[in-house]
Amino acid sequence: MTDFARDFKKRVFKRKIKIAIVGLGYVGLPLAVEFAKKGFFVLGIDLDKDRLAGLKAKKSYIGDVTCKDLAGVLNNGRLRPEGDFRALRKVDVVLICVPTPLKRRYHPDISFIKNAVKAIAGNIKPGALVILESTTYPGTTEEIILPLIEARGLKHGRDFYLCFSPERIDPGNARYPLAKIPKVIGGINQEASALAFEVYRSIIKKVILVSSSRVAETVKLLENTFRIVNIGLVDEMAMMAHKMNINIWEVIGAARTKPFGFMPFYPGPGVGGHCIPKDPLYLYWKAKQHGFRSRFIKLASDIISSMPGYIVQRLEQTLKKQHKTLKGSRILVIGVTYKKDIKDLRKSPSLDMIEILQSMNVKVAYSDPLVPYLNLNKINLKSESLKQRNLGRFDCLVIATDHSGIDYRFLLKNSRLILDTRNVLEGITNKKLVRL
């Protein structure tokens, strides 16, 4: 260990280093609050004026961060929101937590990363550690970020250190909060990894070092590819089981009794959120650059993307058996968030389903206790009441997202027809109930 690394370790232990987090979204803000709660001074940088205004008012816009915790670290001065990158000149560690969306044809959009890195490179403190947490394709840290910073005349290992550490936050998961999720780190060299190890182990129970940033980048993509492939498989199995008049939910329930060699995944109207719908496609895109076509990833993505349309088809078939047409019916979609009890609409398949129904001129409404208003295709929608007298207005209810607090048995009792895509009414046999 070098003298610099030994001194850095001591300063981490004594909470003398200053940390900056660029991007105060669902990854960055929980990190910022966690570091601040552990006694570090944290500079939170974000260019979104609404976010900065919310932080100034001590109002959390992220479900995993309570207003009480946020106010605590703001009041004691441990967290300081900022919209100017020049404030980085006095910090020792910079964590990048910015979005990485997809362009058309599966091309990763790393413009947010590039812009953040350029701003950081122009304001970096000598000897600072830079860590990318934003999910991206293998090689980004070494091939894109490293040259961008060194283009300013800085030398890695002398003027700065660079690592990749994939975010693994699962919004709303109380069992595995940030501090309990093991952290993977891959640096440009061993010293960079060692510095990042000291930083993260001050807030996270288990930290794992891997041999390179490329390995760390691929770890995250493998995790999400594992999920998208298995969800795509079980979605296809659900469609096949329906054709064969087999209850897929009963099949999964019985299969999961095997104590080895099987992990249950469940079908549904699709997947949402920041990670699963797009992260595996970074790997698909990067593999193509190396002359390799990842058929599993593309096929799974295509199957999952087709699920909202498939649900609409099932809805149309279900209504036809009731001697009704889809276009002449009133449909209520229950749940529009992508995940149970999380106020997050990113890539929500429920929205795709509603948009498909709107495009068919179907009279569609929604109900979600977490989302009072929606605007889709310039159409303003208001969350419908689930009271008895209101339910009778609709020809069919589609359960798209499960939410605690909703009495589904009440819905079944007081509705004309229900299409349950989540099996929330498990074990119930009723003429009014149709399962995916």
How many angstroms separate the CA atoms of 205 and 200, rounded?
9
Q: Which two tokens stand for residue 52?
A: 């900065």
CB burial of residue 13 (10 Å; 0-12, 13-18, 19+): exposed
3-class secondary structure, 36: helix
Burial code (b: 16+ CB inside 10 Å, e: under 16) for 252-273 equals beeeeeeeeeeeebebbbbbbb
In angstroms, rounded to a whole number, what is the distance separating the alpha carbons of residues 24 and 51? 8
Task: State how beta strands 18-22 and 41-45 pair.
Answer: parallel
Residue matched to tokens 């660029």: 22
Sign (positive or negative) of CA dihedral 188, 191, 197, 199 = negative
- Asked about 275 being catalytic, the answer comes back as yes
Which among 76, 91, 14 has a CA at the least distance from the CA of 45? 91
Sign of CA dihedral 425, 430, 433, 436: positive
Q: Find, among 22, 42, 28, the residue nearest to 119 by Cα.
A: 22
Q: Report yes or no: 42 and 36 within 8 Å, Cβ to Cβ.
A: yes
Beta strands in 188-344 (DSSP E): 207-209, 330-334
- Pick the catalytic residue from 67, 97, 163, 275: 275
Is the separation of the CB atoms in 279 and 220 below 8 Å?
yes
User: Assign residue 52 a region: left if phi > 0, alpha if psi is -120 to 50, beta otherwise?
Assistant: alpha
For residues 345 and 261, the answer to whether their CB atoms sit within 8 Å is no
Please give the positions annotated as active site: 275
